[in-house]
Structure 1
């Protein structure tokens, strides 16, 4: 509660929410056609009539199928690798994406790296085209809405050579709506060129809980008004590029210490606290004309006395999102395979209850045969009214129409080559990253390192590979970046829980070098990373600490004189941090969240807005 009071005090002085509507569409995306308009204007009567006629041609099985967005293994819609065929047959009962569409008439496909959907941009474009051809081959041809989680930062399903931008909290540290809008516009152009017309971004959660295990730096920060401005800017950017944005996770996942992937979190905000803290980013997204909003598998007792997760809660999705906030777009569940939505009712009832609560799209059920059969049964027996299903389907089809899928759902390799990972985009990503690195502490002027004074540098710390990076572990990326800036840098990965042997190796290596950079990752009171840092400090050599996930680590590292935050361990942010460490760029970021004292959690160590320079 202490951090929440700090946030609400800061929020009162924040600038007004930017909710001016989406920007003009960007030219030159996808197959060369102008991408679909942002679509804030209501559809014409002729469009509605055309889509109603399409719905009238569908059987109950086809209508139900259109409500699902499903995963599928493989790099190809028709000819995936044998291992992917086996995985599809085991989990879905089909061999490939084309068979999935033919069997269940799904309305959308979600791409994952672990499902081998996103090897490289040309392959992604070919997969998207194959999926659209399968949609066109149905008895009632309907284009599919292809989506992915490309939040950037640590959540990005498509890696290099696509352009990778700093994540949300890094952008929040820069504080520039223009940067957020530009990053989303370029990301949207590249997704569009690969045949992806929906991005499950931006994250609209306000991260006021430093112990939040699932949101953290995926949020723009802890100031509701500042987060709202950044969310609106990204909505404008994505949808201006012709890609549907999706604000998540409604009604707000920022104040929990439970991960809804593995449990059912509770949010104990009062209605008044929710209105002040959680609602502003979603209101801003709606005002900006957002196409879709994703639900959270969280319990909010203030809004649902029955304590159903929000995904299954009619008081939350219909009463608050639809009626109080006036949202008329598509509502999509978070993954139905997550434990938070499965624990109370099971895999057959959850999809039905989600639709009754106000959901339109059902994302990634663990067993689509069970989910599809349950929804179809509920429709045939009258638990779900056909009129309501038709209305949900109309919202989905209107979104597809707004994003140009009925006009031109396909893409080309030429479209990919024109925009994906081109030099101007990569240079823009680096420029934006240069405004994000935050200097929290610099006692005695340790930073910037000097090539004359600290010519040889050891880089130690976490060794988790970046989800979309190409340079290897953070230590390797940092060492290579410092080497390119004129230092002699060596990497030694010591991991999240360094052993005494690794700590001793790091100390021995540092004795032969002039300085050390230690990449820390969510340090806690009992983390072995603290022992590593203490041992490095005891050498008397300059120690530079870089928090590569959440920016709270320095609260547990009292003896560190130079501490920075990059908000991610992805390549673009680590390279930017290296430029700051080397003095090639001045630190320009400011904390978008408060850092509280470890020994007195009610006391602010570094407030929102803190950031040093040199």
Structure 2
């Protein structure tokens, strides 16, 4: 076992602070590991083997407080992790990071998040070898966001793809990163670098910037600059590319059958662009790509993919973080005790959210003690993690303040910018007879019906209610009637009856399938002679399955910022500048209804 030399906490913090200047310089493969960071190497030398192993793990934990969570969260922590609190988690396993989730009650409000972050940092600095933690979350925006209002919610990736502007993408990321940093969240698992070339993709979809690799690459690089310019480590995901699959790696092990040349031209460009932009971390995918690894291991566990391609071919020497290790895609082939060990051997540094932390932590510890993983290999990963923490200034200033939160989180300038960005994203796909824009003097009485998917952060209620409220603010009379994702015959007839006498019906649609009763709803409404405006609130493909609609728009998410922008476009208060970042296939998928770049205006 490695013996820890005695030293004071003050000395270690001083050493860490002295390393910041060196750590903020981009490290190239030629300066890999401790050779370029002697101060951090000295911090590493003070760490026990157990502390080093702990640095690799990024773990979930329940509770709004690091030391005093609610009893239900204590019970959940004891059941799933074997500790009571975040502070106990840090003290017991020396974890290098913690990931925030809204469902784990980590993100109730800005001051609470800041206090939780500070409590976690105090726990990290109270260890025998004091090291700050890297707190992370999935704040992609759009349909995936863990921090909600009053924080600023900006348009998500595919909406930004529709805008097509690197400047807007960078600005959106800078706003988001500035607010995350104020909350103590210094690693964001965004942007998504997957190229969504498969309309049937169940897990990526609008989380991607689009289907054009070059356009995606430009926007990924822009968001890397935006996040990291705000002091937050960006994370390009999911390497080597999760865009062409019909399976969800949360529940299955997807196979992607791109040839190596197809991978180079379709999947690789955004990751190459991220590396060139100085990306701080890259997340792996739990997918199998046989052309890249004939052994058909998930990419997270594949040395040919992570070391051979990412490290050696792409020249990346930053932090590699696994996707969540509790996902079925990485657990299909190997047991939970082998997965973290194989991920390290493949080339990963951070091990995210294992289902059984105690099992995973001890498995890695045993692998090092038994010589399966050398201590030099362990040190290489720990140094990458320490280097990133130093670059982010966590050794110097690990804490945040309420004053800092109040100064930037949800400030008016950010909210106004989010609205302006959203105005550039809404895409108009059909406008028969020039129905739009609507004039409240001639088409002022609206019925808003449609889908009501589960609300992500950034929504204040069902999409129908949000749209109706937005129209009312613009001078319309608008009534909302939520008909659901699968409207029943009775609900459809209720909507048809409510449409009588209305000037226009606005229908929010959500991933309309060939057999969806959302189609029936639209057909029945259109048959009454009332003009129907369809607003696709997730994937933009719905229009291919809807007949009889006079106008159709795509918003790419159902967050308030996007729905308000759609209402402004319908009312003519904003022009529809968005252009499709993905092709919309016809009902016969062999044909394209609307190509990439299509979009109407007025």
TM-score normalised by length of structure 1 = 0.93
| 1-structure distance, mates of 2:381, 2:101 | 26
Equivalent positions of 1:317-466 (< 5 A) are: 317-466=306-455
Per-residue CA deviations over 1:178-218 (Å, capped at 9, x if unaligned) read 00000101111101100111100000000000000000000
Secondary structure of the corresponding residue to residue 466 of structure 2: helix
- Whether 1:206 aligns to 2:195 is yes
Equivalent positions of 1:497-516 (< 5 A) are: 497-516=486-505
| 2-structure distance, mates of 1:287, 1:39 | 14
Q: Is the 8 A contact 1:462 1:521 kept in 2?
A: yes
Q: Is the 8 A contact 1:212 1:256 kept in 2?
A: yes
| 1-structure distance, mates of 2:247, 2:319 | 27
The unaligned stretches of length 5 or more in structure 1 are: 1-33
Per-residue CA deviations over 1:143-187 (Å, capped at 9, x if unaligned) read 000000000001000000000000000000000100000010111
- Equivalent of 1:550, from 526, 539, 542? 539
- Equivalent of 1:239, from 228, 232, 243? 228
- Whether 1:40 aligns to 2:26 is yes
Per-residue CA deviations over 1:460-509 (Å, capped at 9, x if unaligned) read 11112421134201001000000000001011111110000110000000
User: Relative to structure 1, is the Cα distance of residues 47 and 317 closer, same or farther in structure 2, using a 3 angstrom cutoff?
Assistant: closer
- Equivalent of 1:303, from 273, 280, 292? 292
Q: Is the 8 A contact 1:35 1:403 kept in 2?
A: no
Equivalent positions of 1:47-126 (< 5 A) are: 48-126=37-115
1:559: Cα distance to partner? 2.3
1:341: Cα distance to partner? 0.3
| 2-structure distance, mates of 1:375, 1:71 | 18
Per-residue CA deviations over 1:356-380 (Å, capped at 9, x if unaligned) read 0000000000110010011111111
Match of 2:461 in 1: 472
Q: Is the 8 A contact 1:36 1:403 kept in 2?
A: no
| 2-structure distance, mates of 1:525, 1:52 | 59
1:81: Cα distance to partner? 0.5
Per-residue CA deviations over 1:193-246 (Å, capped at 9, x if unaligned) read 001111000000000000000000000000000000000000000000111000
| 2-structure distance, mates of 1:214, 1:269 | 18
Q: Is the 8 A contact 2:141 2:156 kept in 1?
A: yes
- Whether 1:276 aligns to 2:262 is no
User: Relative to structure 1, is the Cα distance of residues 602 and 170 closer, same or farther in structure 2, using a 3 angstrom cutoff?
Assistant: same
- Whether 1:256 aligns to 2:242 is no
Secondary structure of the corresponding residue to residue 115 of structure 1: coil
User: Relative to structure 1, is the Cα distance of residues 196 and 477 closer, same or farther in structure 2, using a 3 angstrom cutoff?
Assistant: same
Q: Is the 8 A contact 1:235 1:285 kept in 2?
A: yes
Secondary structure of the corresponding residue to residue 98 of structure 2: strand
Match of 1:560 in 2: 549
1:40: Cα distance to partner? 3.1
The unaligned stretches of length 5 or more in structure 2 are: 1-19
| 2-structure distance, mates of 1:35, 1:593 | 43
- Equivalent of 1:608, from 572, 590, 596? 596
Equivalent positions of 1:221-236 (< 5 A) are: 221-236=210-225
| 2-structure distance, mates of 1:541, 1:500 | 19
| 2-structure distance, mates of 1:260, 1:485 | 42
| 2-structure distance, mates of 1:452, 1:312 | 62
Secondary structure of the corresponding residue to residue 83 of structure 1: helix
Match of 2:567 in 1: 578
User: Relative to structure 1, is the Cα distance of residues 546 and 162 closer, same or farther in structure 2, using a 3 angstrom cutoff?
Assistant: same
User: Relative to structure 1, is the Cα distance of residues 388 and 35 closer, same or farther in structure 2, using a 3 angstrom cutoff?
Assistant: closer
User: Relative to structure 1, is the Cα distance of residues 184 and 213 closer, same or farther in structure 2, using a 3 angstrom cutoff?
Assistant: same
- Equivalent of 2:255, from 249, 266, 283? 266
| 1-structure distance, mates of 2:210, 2:561 | 20
Q: Is the 8 A contact 1:36 1:242 kept in 2?
A: no
| 2-structure distance, mates of 1:522, 1:46 | 52
1:49: Cα distance to partner? 1.1
Q: Is the 8 A contact 2:145 2:458 kept in 1?
A: no
User: Relative to structure 1, is the Cα distance of residues 307 and 430 closer, same or farther in structure 2, using a 3 angstrom cutoff?
Assistant: same
Match of 2:10 in 1: none
Q: Is the 8 A contact 1:35 1:241 kept in 2?
A: no
Q: Is the 8 A contact 2:447 2:505 kept in 1?
A: yes
| 1-structure distance, mates of 2:36, 2:151 | 35
What is the root-mean-square deviation in Å for CA atoms of aligned residues? 1.5
Q: Is the 8 A contact 2:23 2:390 kept in 1?
A: no
Q: Is the 8 A contact 2:24 2:390 kept in 1?
A: no
| 2-structure distance, mates of 1:289, 1:73 | 33
| 1-structure distance, mates of 2:72, 2:435 | 52
Per-residue CA deviations over 1:114-135 (Å, capped at 9, x if unaligned) read 0000001110000000000000
| 2-structure distance, mates of 1:49, 1:394 | 10
Q: Is the 8 A contact 1:38 1:240 kept in 2?
A: no
Match of 1:220 in 2: 209
Secondary structure of the corresponding residue to residue 266 of structure 1: coil
Aligned length: 580
Match of 1:526 in 2: 515
| 2-structure distance, mates of 1:351, 1:584 | 53
1:47: Cα distance to partner? 6.7
Q: Is the 8 A contact 1:37 1:242 kept in 2?
A: no
Match of 1:144 in 2: 133
Match of 2:5 in 1: none
| 1-structure distance, mates of 2:24, 2:212 | 27
- Equivalent of 1:589, from 560, 578, 600? 578
Equivalent positions of 1:136-175 (< 5 A) are: 136-175=125-164
1:514: Cα distance to partner? 1.4
